[in-house]
Amino acid sequence: MTTPSPDTVLITFTGMDRPGVTSTVFTALAAFGGEVLDIEQIVLRRRLVLGVLVSASRDPKALRAAVERVAADLDMQVAVERGEGDNRARRGGRTHVTVLGMPLRPGPVAAIAGRIADTGANIDRIERMARYPVTAIELHVSGADPDRLRVVLAEEAARQSVDVAVQPATLLRHGMRLIVMDVDSTLVQGEVIEMLAERAGCLDRVAQVTEAAMRGELDFEQSLRERVALLEGLDAGALDEVYDALQLAPGARTMVRTLKRLGYRFAIVSGGFTQVTDRIAADLGIDFTAANELEVVAGRLTGRILGPVVDRAGKAEALRRFAAAAGVTPAATIAIGDGANDLDMLAAAGLGIAFNAKPVVQRAADTAVNVPYLDAIVYLLGISREEIEAADAEAGVTTPAPPL
């Protein structure tokens, strides 16, 4: 014999928000005793929806009269619905779906919601994570196989030109994680080897090879050695000039500063050069680095690389090494990259993010982010712009706003 569900009452207030709504509502309810089973409230542009689920009263007419009086006093509407039991339990397959748009238009939202419905999943809750510099919306979805949802939504995201990230709603999301970043065209704008080549007078040849290598058309190590050979004789002072000219990706400092406050660790793993990446790491307070060292003799580049080359496999190996050193499982790592040499690293991470990446990388990664702001990654982790700004304000920092 199953126990019958207790009678419950759902009371929903809607109207313009004002101070004291919740206390006024619950003061009236307190007179009836009983139990509060659930409360949800949202406010959009000052319009409030407050839903309260309570156990049924022995005097339902008096309860209804009391809440209607409260609604009239507050100049709000109220609906009172009798029913049975608690909310339906959320189904398994709980997933966070984050949608980034710049701007976000209704069509893509319709398409993404439609594909979620096609998979038989349900959107239980929607909230905004950011309005600036991108609009980021998080959907709490249940009843979905996250892997299938990821494939279906990645296709739709590409069609709609928005970014969509699908992540299982696990405890992992709340823990400290390790973020492993590629450098060239990810953490910094442009490719350092091309900036060096420009100073060595061989930009055209190097740029062509770099482009093909990042598309995955060449063996990375061989192509890197060929390109570095072209730099032979370049004054090592060019490395300082290039470092001084480097621009971080917009939002890079905001992302690192925010996540370091939460105890996150950071690594940079680069097919580029230690002479530049070590200085970036020191500047940003990065915990782990792996990159290639250019040989310098008598103040000039020799055109050779010292030691083994950090190639595609080496990047994934570095991710696993740094995860072990940070004391996190590979599932708790997030890798961010744009080139074909990042593919193994993105696959090895718990969450692989293709950041303004080559098509081959976008197709392979868990998630593609195509807005040019690295701090958009923070929204994928369930942290809102408001929380970032509040933490910055407390630390006396004005949250930098990338140019729109």
Determine contact, residues 153/97, Cβ cutoff 8 Å: yes
- Residues lying near Mg ion in the complex (CB under 5 A) are found at 182, 184-186, 338-339
Q: Which is nearer to Mg ion, 311 or 389 (CB)?
A: 311
With tokens 């619905």, the residue in question is 81
Residue 287 annotated as catalytic? no
Q: Which is nearer to Mg ion, 269 or 388 (CB)?
A: 269
Q: Closest Cα partner for 59 from 84, 42, 34, 83?
A: 34
Residue 244 annotated as catalytic? no
Q: Measured from the CB of residue 360, what is the shortest distance to Mg ion in angstroms?
A: 13
Instruction: Name every residue whose Cβ is closer than 8 Å to that of residue 87 and which is 6 or more positions away in sequence.
Output: 37, 38, 53
Determine contact, residues 301/232, Cβ cutoff 8 Å: yes
Q: Measured from the CB of residue 271, what is the shortest distance to Mg ion in angstroms?
A: 7
Determine contact, residues 314/332, Cβ cutoff 8 Å: no
Q: Which is nearer to Mg ion, 220 or 379 (CB)?
A: 220
Determine contact, residues 63/9, Cβ cutoff 8 Å: yes
Q: Which is nearer to Mg ion, 137 or 181 (CB)?
A: 181
State the DSSP string of 304-338. EEESS---HHHHHHHHHHHHHHHT--GGGEEEEE-
Which among 184, 311, 342, 344 is annotated as catalytic? 184
Q: Closest Cα partner for 359 from 146, 217, 165?
A: 217
Q: Measured from the CB of residue 304, what is the shortest distance to Mg ion in angstroms?
A: 22
Which among 17, 73, 147, 182 is annotated as catalytic? 182
Q: Measured from the CB of residue 257, what is the shortest distance to Mg ion in angstroms?
A: 22
Q: Decide: helix, strand or coil at residue 62.
A: helix
Q: Measured from the CB of residue 356, what is the shortest distance to Mg ion in angstroms?
A: 10
Q: Which is nearer to Mg ion, 93 or 339 (CB)?
A: 339
Active site members: 182, 184
